[in-house]
Every structure is written in structure tokens, then in C-alpha cells.
Amino acid sequence: MKIAKDCVVTLDYTLTDEDGEILDSSEGDGPLVYLHGHGDIVPGLERALAGHQSGDRIQADVGPEDGYGEWDEDLVEVVGKEDFDDPDELEIGAQFEVDTDEGVRVATIIEMEGDEITVDLNHPLAGMQLHFDVTVRDVRAASAEELAHGHVHEHPHA
Ligand code: ZN
């Protein structure tokens, strides 16, 4: 079966940056399972996978416009130390989830000066040239229930 809209696809993947540094991989977490055609994965990778089938290996180079977006200076904010639950735990590079108008975002602390903490709300992979090395492990049609919910059911849920 070929990958098309409304397929459930299982992938092994390694994600590297321009320098070949590994950013993420299915090796530790197990394969990625996603619903094709529903924006579950970045557009550049989704497009590269379309039409492939189980056993295929695909290399895809994905720029920010087809990946996690351009890095946006407006998403850098200075906040006060008192805004954090655990001010003692703060350090440069620390990441935490924050609720914003556009949903949950990952914030990264990029600067600390006294009580002023500079956080970057860009996606950690924003602005990056990404290289995916992907092997398709399985392709199946999504069930009616999965399509109704808009996500994959690997394990039954209430
Ligand atoms: Zn569901």
C-alpha cells in the first residue's frame, strides 16, 4: 500500500542538522506512527513520503519554510524570575512548556541577568535546515474511528 492521505504510517527516522549532528531519532523512542495528510509531521517530510511504501528508505532535506518555520525575533521575551515556579532551577538552555494564545509552546532560556530571564518561544528546530533519513516500516489504512478523531490509535483509549 502506498502512502497517501488517511494512511497510518510507521517510520524509523534519524533527524540531523546541516553538520550531521543527530537532533532526534526513533532509535531510543521507538518508531514514529502518524496519520498521513493531517499535518502530524512537518510538511516537507510529509510531501517526501507520499507515494512510498513499506521498506522504502527516503532522504529528505527540509528547510524552515517546510519545517518548523523561520526563527522569529518577536518570540523572544524577557520575563521576571518571579514568574517561574522554581526560580532556583533556572539555567541557560533549560526548556519548559508554556501556554500561549497559539497553544502550548516550548520555551528555552537563552539569557539570564539578575532577575531578568530571556526566553525564546520559537520551536527548538525553527530556522534550521533539517535532514531526515527515514525508513518506512508499515503503511495501513486508518480506521473510521481514527479518522473521526484525527489521530492514530496505537492503544485503545476511552
Ligand atoms: Zn482517539
pLDDT at 145: 94
Integer angstrom CA distances of residue 143 from 78, 118, 150: 46, 45, 10
Mean pLDDT by runs of 10 across the 158 residues of the chain is: 97 96 91 95 97 98 96 94 85 89 87 94 94 98 95 77
What is the predicted pLDDT for the residue at 65?
A: 96
d(CA 8, CA 147): 10
- From the CA of 18, how far away is ligand 1's center (Å)? 36
pTM: 0.81
Closest to 38 in 3D by CA, of 83, 73, 7, 70: 7
For ligand 1, an ion, list residues with CB under 5 A.
149
Q: Identify the pLDDT of residue 37.
A: 95
Cα–Cα distance measured from residue 114 to residue 32, given in angstroms and rounded to the nearest whole number: 41
The SS3 assignment for 43 reads helix
- Measure 40 CA to ligand 1 centroid, in angstroms: 14
pLDDT for 99 equals 84
Ligand 1 mean position to 8 CA, how many Å?
Answer: 13
Query: How much distance in Å is there from the Cα of 149 to the middle of ligand 1?
Result: 5
pLDDT (0 to 100) of residue 158: 58
Domains and CATH numbers, the chain: 7-68+126-149 (3.10.50.40), 73-120 (2.40.10.330)
